[in-house]
């Protein structure tokens, strides 16, 4: 359980929402690592807003090369960014040394609801083994000597809301920045991503947060 004194490491923490909310709700502390100074600035501001700055540290750097003190954290997390380790197994290898034998590794990862056709892989730019089925994901945890003890899977509605909120955010940015050098690339990304999700993603691609512990 997360509580006062719990130490959490979040690799590729983005805007630090997980660390900040847990600190506010449960009294935990920890460290977030991310490459983006923009995201880290938002994380620092969020921590100040929730009055938890004294319990959190945000570091700018490559989360894939960050080396925590062995066993220094109770929970090591990477939510939706396993590219930092070249995939799930590599990222588990980054997280595992950060916790003691009684700690937890928390990972947010897509999975295939059913085997995707080549057209779906092409639409997303995925290789066939970038993600696995649910039982294949379990096998990847087991190959990393981790036991799956809990999971929360997104349902269709929450997955839709997440994707649609991204479209809305990008569309608002496009409208506000017509002369930006990245405008055309962002427009292409929005059009491609939206079509890929509606045509393929809703049927084939799922999302879960998986809680594991060393075996």
pLDDT tens digits, one per residue of 4-54: 999 999 999 999 999 999 999 999 999 999 999 999 999 999 999 999 999
pLDDT tens digits, one per residue of 115-152: 999 999 999 999 989 999 999 999 999 999 999 999 99
CATH of 7-112+125-154+206-214, one of 3.40.50.150, 1.10.645.10, 3.90.320.10, 3.40.50.10420: 3.40.50.150
- Regarding pTM above 0.95, the answer is no
Tokens 């981790």 map to which residue? 146
Contact indicator for 148, 212 with CB cutoff of 8 Å: yes
The residue extents of the domains of the chain are: 7-112+125-154+206-214, 157-201
pLDDT tens digits, one per residue of 78-103: 999 999 999 999 999 999 999 999 99
* Position 157 pLDDT exceeds 90: yes
Nearest CA among 74, 104, 107, 68 for reference residue 4: 74
Token representation of residue 166: 């991204």
- In angstroms, the CA 70 to CA 187 distance is 43
Given CA atoms 136, 11, 159, 185 in this order, what sign does their dihedral have?
negative
Token representation of residue 27: 């009294």
- In angstroms, the CA 130 to CA 90 distance is 12
- In angstroms, the CA 51 to CA 46 distance is 8
- In angstroms, the CA 103 to CA 201 distance is 33
Q: What is the mean pLDDT of residues 200-209?
A: 96
What beta strand segments (E) does 94-167 contain? 104-112, 146-153
């Amino acid at each position: 359980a997360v509580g006062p004194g719990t130490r959490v490491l979040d690799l590729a923490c983005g805007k630090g929402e997980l660390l900040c909310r847990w600190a506010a709700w449960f009294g935990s502390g920890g460290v977030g690592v991310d490459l983006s100074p923009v995201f880290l600035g938002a994380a620092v501001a969020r921590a100040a807003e929730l009055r938890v700055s004294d319990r959190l540290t945000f570091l700018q750097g490559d989360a894939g090369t960050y080396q925590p003190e062995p066993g220094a954290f109770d929970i090591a997390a990477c939510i939706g960014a396993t590219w930092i380790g070249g995939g799930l197994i590599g990222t588990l290898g980054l997280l595992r040394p950060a916790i003691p034998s009684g700690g937890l590794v928390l990972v947010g990862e897509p999975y295939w609801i059913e085997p995707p056709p080549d057209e779906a892989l092409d639409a997303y730019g995925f290789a066939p083994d970038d993600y696995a089925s649910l039982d294949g994901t379990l096998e990847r945890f087991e190959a990393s000597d981790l036991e799956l003890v809990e999971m929360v899977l997104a349902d269709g509605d929450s997955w839709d809301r997440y994707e649609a909120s991204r479209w809305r955010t990008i569309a608002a940015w496009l409208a506000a920045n017509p002369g930006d050098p990245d405008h055309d690339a962002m427009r292409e990304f929005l059009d491609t991503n939206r079509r890929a999700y509606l045509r393929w993603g809703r049927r084939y691609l799922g999302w879960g947060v998986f809680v594991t512990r060393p075996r």
